[in-house]
């Protein structure tokens, strides 16, 4: 079987949800006909992880900081040159650009070199003129756009993406790996809350994730369930995020909630923490494409109370596998959490149905099969400029 050289491109050096999804996919392709070439900045934690999961890794000269536009323009130019060099050196057959900005680098190079590009979209872009112009143009330069949810796909279509190139492929959950991590974790939550119910929120601490929504819901929850303890897993990444967290902590103290709240920061035992939770909340106030914490919490048979926004409604079947609440509505959130805590039998049944839903719609096997089918389709059909080149070559024979 012919080996295909695939370049997996990521524009940023830190590890977030999109990068975790990509690495899970790459790991599953280890014993296939794919030779995996990774390319990302070498100034963050992603580069050593790429070294663990890829067959070959090359550095991308894109700095992972908030530099000005002139510095970023130089980074993009240097990155395009580096990708072009990598395509030649490794005889790349296909570029899989893992983010919007990665596609901005890869698509022009692919067009110049006759190499097909798949743009993997993990975000829902805001409707701005610049985004509309870029989506319209770049959707015409790539061969396919993978969207992680219907919400993501609709967001791109509203910005002018070519409909025939957009397809939904849900992210997959590595169920056996998740179960193993959850089973091996220490009893983290029991150290803090004793016998009270545990409400857990996992995610980067930043305003759009809505930690303040849960904070404002706490008095109402505690009125009905006074022994409840709340755990925030995650931390801020930017200065503004850290300021937001400091404001939340001051509000917690001012409202006399300190004894009910624990800030756990970044953790590498999140599956175990979620397994120990009585309810997991997801409070985004801006559309979240397909939040991993919701997938993993449901896979662990936990009830999610989540904002009805973005791709969440594709994951949580309201009142069957969990509860959806109005984004930003702390009272609505409190009511749903109380309903979960007061009905343990219903909570158990919902959790089981949540696990079944993940296994049927969001398995890792389904995700990998869909990506492999897309690779075959893209690699079997020459891109338009390749067709012209082949016709020219044929005319010379």
Q: Please check whether residue 48 is in contact with residue 18, taking contact to mean a CB–CB distance below 8 angstroms.
A: no
Mode of pairing for the β-strands spanning 304-307 and 117-121: unpaired
Same domain, 350 and 377: no
Same domain, 349 and 202: yes
CA distance 327 to 310: 10
Our count of domains for the chain comes to 2
Question: DSSP assignment, residue 309?
Answer: -
CATH number where 151 lies: 3.40.50.2000
Same domain, 159 and 181: no
Same domain, 210 and 321: yes
pLDDT 10s digit of each residue in the chain, 397 long?
678 999 999 998 888 778 888 899 999 998 889 999 999 999 889 999 999 999 999 999 987 665 666 777 889 999 999 999 999 999 999 999 999 999 999 999 999 999 999 999 999 999 999 999 999 999 999 999 999 999 999 999 999 999 999 999 999 999 999 999 999 888 888 887 667 899 999 999 999 999 999 999 999 999 999 999 999 999 988 899 999 999 999 999 999 999 999 999 999 899 999 999 999 999 999 999 999 999 999 999 999 999 999 999 999 999 999 999 999 999 999 999 999 999 999 999 999 999 999 999 999 999 999 999 999 999 987 655 554 443 343 333 3
Same domain, 159 and 291: no
Domain range for 348 is: 175-361
Same domain, 87 and 145: yes
Per-residue pLDDT at 193: 64
Same domain, 93 and 209: no
CA distance 367 to 345: 32
In b/e form, how buried is each residue of 109-127, taking b as 16+ CB within 10 angstroms?
bbbeebbbbbbbbbbbbee
Neighbours of 223 (CB within 10 A): 10
Per-residue pLDDT at 328: 97
Same domain, 355 and 392: no
Same domain, 345 and 233: yes
CA distance 387 to 146: 23
In the chain, the DSSP E strands lie at 4-9, 34-40, 56-59, 94-97, 117-121, 144-147, 166-168, 198-202, 229-233, 261-265, 279-282, 304-307, 322-325
Same domain, 60 and 145: yes
Q: Please check whether residue 282 is in contact with residue 201, taking contact to mean a CB–CB distance below 8 angstroms.
A: yes
* Residues near 20 by beta carbon (within 8 Å), at least 6 away in sequence: 292
DSSP 91-118: T-SEEEE-SHHHHHHHHHHHHHHT--EE
Per-residue pLDDT at 380: 87
Per-residue pLDDT at 237: 82
Same domain, 139 and 186: no
Separation of first and last alpha carbons in the chain: 28
Same domain, 259 and 298: yes
């Amino acid at each position: 079987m012919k080996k295909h050289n695939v370049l997996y491109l990521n524009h940023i050096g830190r590890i977030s949800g999109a990068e975790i999804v990509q690495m899970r996919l790459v790991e599953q392709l280890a014993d296939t006909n794919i030779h995996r070439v990774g390319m990302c900045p070498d100034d963050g934690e992603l580069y050593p992880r790429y070294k663990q999961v890829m067959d070959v890794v090359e550095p991308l000269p894109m700095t992972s900081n908030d530099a000005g536009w002139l510095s970023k323009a130089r980074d993009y130019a240097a990155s395009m040159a580096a990708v072009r060099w990598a395509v030649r050196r490794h005889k790349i057959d296909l570029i899989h650009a893992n983010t919007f900005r990665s596609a901005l680098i890869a698509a022009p190079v692919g067009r110049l070199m006759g190499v097909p590009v798949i743009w993997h979209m993990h975000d829902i872009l805001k409707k701005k003129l610049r985004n509309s112009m870029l989506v319209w143009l770049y959707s015409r330069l790539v061969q396919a756009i993978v969207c992680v949810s219907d919400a993501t796909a609709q967001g791109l279509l509203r910005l002018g993406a070519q409909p025939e190139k957009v397809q939904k492929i849900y992210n997959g959950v590595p169920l056996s790996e998740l179960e193993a991590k959850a089973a091996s974790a220490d009893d983290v939550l029991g150290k803090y809350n004793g016998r009270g119910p545990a409400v857990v929120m996992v995610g980067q601490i930043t305003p759009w994730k809505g930690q303040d929504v849960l904070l404002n819901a706490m008095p109402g929850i505690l009125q009905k369930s006074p022994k409840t303890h709340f755990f925030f897993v995650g931390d801020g990444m930017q200065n503004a995020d850290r300021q937001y967290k400091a404001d939340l902590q001051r509000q917690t103290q001012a409202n006399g909630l300190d004894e009910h709240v624990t800030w756990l920061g970044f953790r590498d035992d999140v599956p175990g923490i979620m397994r120990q939770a009585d309810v997991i909340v997801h409070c985004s106030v801006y559309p979240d494409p397909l939040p991993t914490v919701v997938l993993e919490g449901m896979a662990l048979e936990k009830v999610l109370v989540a904002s009805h926004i973005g791709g969440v409604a594709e994951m949580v079947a309201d009142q069957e596998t969990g509860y959806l609440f109005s984004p930003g509505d702390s009272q609505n959130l409190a009511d749903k959490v109380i309903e979960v805590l007061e009905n343990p039998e219903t909570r158990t049944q919902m959790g089981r149905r949540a696990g079944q839903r993940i296994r049927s719609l969001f398995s890792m096997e389904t995700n990998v099969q869909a990506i492999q089918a897309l690779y075959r389709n893209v690699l079997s059909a020459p891109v338009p400029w390749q067709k012209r080149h082949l016709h020219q070559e044929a005319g010379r024979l």
